[in-house]
């Protein structure tokens, strides 16, 4: 089973940190970048996030990802495949292609 955690990696040129969701699966790490940034005063010395708004957002994303992972057998997946599975947008299918599939 993969483990998920909200982390920051390195400081950007403007002084802020980009927030990532870290995924550890089969002793390998991977990261999914979020659209959140955090100021240095909201990051502890150990790299933990202190901003409650960003923590709540990341908790919701982690809950969604955990639900997706629990519905699928991931034993044969690599970290890259897990990340691709989680970030794949299932709502991008074209209605016309869907209709052609069922018409044929």
pLDDT tens digits along 50-86: 999 999 999 999 999 999 999 888 888 999 999 999 9
Residue 91 has pLDDT above 60, yes or no: no
Q: What is the pLDDT of residue 46?
A: 85
Residue 12 has pLDDT above 60, yes or no: yes
Q: Mean pLDDT, the chain, as a whole number? A: 88
Spatial separation of the C-alpha atoms in residues 55 and 34, rounded to whole Å: 12
Residue 27 contacts by C-beta under 8 Å, 6 or more apart in sequence? none
- Token pair, residue 27, equals 């002793």
pLDDT tens digits along 29-55: 999 999 999 999 999 888 889 999 999
Query: What is the distance in angstroms between the CA of the first residue and the CA of the last residue of the chain?
Result: 39
Q: Which of 92, 82, 89 is nearest to 32 (CA)?
A: 82
- Token pair, residue 43, equals 């990051």
Give the percent of the chain with pLDDT over 90. 62
């Amino acid at each position: 089973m993969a483990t998920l955690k909200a982390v920051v990696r390195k400081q950007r040129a403007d002084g802020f940190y980009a927030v990532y969701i870290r995924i550890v699966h089969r002793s390998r790490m991977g990261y999914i970048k979020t659209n959140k940034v955090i100021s240095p005063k909201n990051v502890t010395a150990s790299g933990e996030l202190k901003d409650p708004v960003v923590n709540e957002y990341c908790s919701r994303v982690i809950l969604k990802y955990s639900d997706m992972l629990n519905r699928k057998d991931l034993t044969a997946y690599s970290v890259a495949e897990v990340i691709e599975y989680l970030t794949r947008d299932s709502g991008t299918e074209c209605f016309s292609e869907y209709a052609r599939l069922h018409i044929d």
